[in-house]
Amino acid sequence: MRNKESRDMDDILYQALKPCHEPGEELNRQVLQRVQKQPDRQESHGKYRRAGWAAKAAALLLMLAGASGTVYAAWQLYTAEEVARHVYDRKLARAFHENAEQQTTEQQTAEQQAPGQQITAQENVQSYGGYRVTLLGVASGEDISDYPMGAGTEHIQTDRTYAAVAIQREDGSPMAEDDSFFVSPLIQGYDPVEYNAVTMRGAASFFEEDGVLYWLVNCSNVEYFADHTIYLCVTDTDFYRKGLYNYDEADGSISRIEDYDGLNALFELELDASKADPAAALALLEENREATEPDEQEEQVGADEEISRFLDELTMENFEEKCVLLADTCQTMMPDEEGQVYFEYSLPVTDSSHPGAASAGGTGGLVDYLFRSRHWGDENHSWTCSSGGDLSSLEVCLFTLNEDGSVSFGVYVPRDVSIYLQ
């Protein structure tokens, strides 16, 4: 339990940022639906799919969706570092690697200081509701990702916490298309209904391989709250719901509701308490509140609908009629030894005052997965998309599988309205 001084600071932070009215579950659902529709540079193949929770974000998602009836054994799961590399986030992979090395060193030191005693590592595997969840790793810090939250917008946030988890069905069956999950840090002393990944400017990417669903979630840096217990919840819902966890208002602790018959895993994260900074925590929450004002959310919903209509009407037949190719982005390459391609490209210079303006990008994946979805009835073409917030900043990346096994790539933008054509 926290000491009196710490609790007083909690009360100051909590009351300073506590909403006037407690949001109901329906309001939470509506807010999540809105921010999930944001074009967060989170792409899936052949459709405009958002997998994160963020207001006006531009985080990159590389959806590498594969399926198989075989479930990895625990020792065959990807590490957090490998998950980051799988979505081409090299900076984050290094951060996970450094964290893993540090934990190994600390474990060895603890064993040397306590000879003959068994040192038990924190449990990182939990099973509930027919699912098995493995916490793969956590990393926090400034500028530890190649794809900072809000890149290309006025609300960029590079100081983040990242967590990687693996989700499997206990019976070994593959994930269903309509399976929903919610992964989020929670903070002792802060009601999780009001403070979770939605309000902490969270975003997520995920991919499935060999029956294992890998989630990479990120949100505002929770290390500033490291003098509290920091949790990570994993649920089989599409947003935070009451009835899955208990919140004790007396000491601020959060715990599982044991009689819930679905997935409500709850991990305690090991964070460095010396990183706690109450003043920075207050500033962070205030920044998040300003970045997600309701009027901005309303404006963004309209922009999202315009983008969705444009993409719904897009076909292979009218592609060049509705879009213009940015010639400087054209590339062709052979897959590497692992069967992957990755394209980096630069975009034309634009008016930097536009909130959706971006100067560069990158995308790719395993070739087998890139062309797995035949959304146009054509096994040789696939596309992904991203946007900084409106139709004028939309980028549509077209992949073409050639007869020699190489992949050609180019970025297309909406004809007449794109900021990259001005």
Alpha-carbon distances, residue 352 vs 130, 356, 416 (angstroms): 49, 9, 19
**pLDDT at residue 129 greater than cutoff 70:** yes
Polymer length of the chain = 422
Which residue from 79, 301, 281, 297 is spatially nearest to 185, judged by alpha carbons? 281
Report pLDDT digits (tens) over 210-226: 889 999 999 999 999 99
Residue 23 has pLDDT above 80, yes or no: no
Cα separation, 153 vs 395, whole angstroms: 15
Query: What pLDDT is stored for residue 247 in this prediction?
Result: 95
CA diameter of the chain: 73
Quote the CA–CA distance of 44 and 54 in Å, as a whole number.
17
Residues 6+ apart with CB under 8 A from 360: 344, 345, 346, 347
User: Are the CB atoms for 169 and 212 separated by under 8 Å?
Assistant: no
Residues 338-373: pLDDT tens digits? 788 888 888 887 665 565 566 777 787 778 777 765
pLDDT at residue 65 in the model: 30
Q: State the CB neighbour count (10 A cutoff) for residue 60.
A: 23
Q: Higher pLDDT residue, 127 or 31?
A: 127
Q: Does the pLDDT value for residue 170 go beyond 90?
A: yes
pLDDT in tens, 37-64: 433 333 333 333 333 333 333 233 333 2
pLDDT digits (tens, 9 = 90+) for 260-270: 999 999 999 98
pLDDT of residue 212: 93
Per residue in 179-190, pLDDT (tens digit) is 889 999 999 999
| Residue pair 381/398 in contact by the 8 Å Cβ criterion | yes
Nearest one of 35, 33, 34, 38 to 48, comparing CA atoms: 38
Highest mean pLDDT of the ranges 56-70, 83-97, 380-394: 83-97
Burial of 16 (0-12, 13-18, 19+ CB in 10 A): exposed
Q: What is the pLDDT of residue 71?
A: 36
Please report, to the nearest 10 degrees, the dihedral formed by the alpha carbons of residues 17, 21, 24, 29 taken in order. -50
Task: Check: CB of residue 123 under 8 Å from CB of residue 258.
Answer: no
pTM of the model: 0.59
85 Cβ contact partners less than 8 Å away, ≥ 6 residues apart = 93
The arithmetic mean of pLDDT across residues 86-100, rounded, is: 91
CB 365 within 8 A of CB 86: no
Could you give the CA distance from residue 85 to residue 335 in angstroms, rounded to a whole number?
A: 16
Share of the chain above pLDDT 90, in %: 35
Amino acid 366: pLDDT:
77
